[in-house]
């Protein structure tokens, strides 16, 4: 499973207990409890897989014009990488 995203951060390594997902291109905002996500996706799930799954119903996920695709991300992770 991790072969899809080599070196990707695992869901269980997420730094906070509440996982926020935001999209830069649509009004979508998600808020998920980490424990719930771990139950749903399993302990070996990686963050990229979870993000794709959670944003699969975004209006723009399949809009491949240059400014089209969904920009969903984990804002907490982006902040902590600085
Ligand atoms: Zn989106």
pLDDT at 45: 94
Report how far ligand 1's centroid is from the alpha carbon of 55 (Å).
7
Q: How many domains does the chain have?
A: 1
Antiparallel, parallel or unpaired: β 72-73 and 18-23: antiparallel
Report how far ligand 1's centroid is from the alpha carbon of 25 (Å).
5
Quick one: three-class SS letters along 42-61?
CCCCEHHHHHHHHCCCCCCC
Report how far ligand 1's centroid is from the alpha carbon of 75 (Å).
14
pLDDT at 2: 46
Laid out side by side, the sheet with 29-33 consists of 29-33, 18-23, 72-73
Expressed as residue numbers, the domain containing 64 is 11-81
pLDDT at 11: 94
5 located within any domain: no
Phi, psi of 31 (to 5 degrees): -140, 120
50 located within any domain: yes
pLDDT at 60: 65
24 located within any domain: yes
- How many whole angstroms separate alpha carbon 31 and alpha carbon 20? 5
18 located within any domain: yes
Residues with CB under 5 A from ligand 1 (ion): 23, 26, 28, 58, 60, 70
37 located within any domain: yes
6 located within any domain: no
21 located within any domain: yes
3 located within any domain: no
Q: Is 21 helix (H, G, I), strand (E, B) or coil?
A: strand
pLDDT along the chain (82 residues), means of 10: 72 93 82 96 92 77 63 77 50
């Amino acid at each position: 499973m991790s072969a899809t995203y080599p070196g990707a951060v695992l869901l269980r390594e997420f730094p906070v207990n509440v996982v926020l997902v935001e999209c830069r291109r649509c009004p979508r905002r998600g808020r998920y409890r980490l424990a719930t996500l771990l139950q749903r996706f399993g302990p070996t799930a990686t963050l990229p897989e979870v993000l794709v799954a959670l944003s699969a119903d975004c209006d723009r996920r399949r809009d491949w014009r240059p400014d089209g695709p969904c920009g969903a991300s984990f804002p907490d992770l982006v902040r902590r990488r600085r």
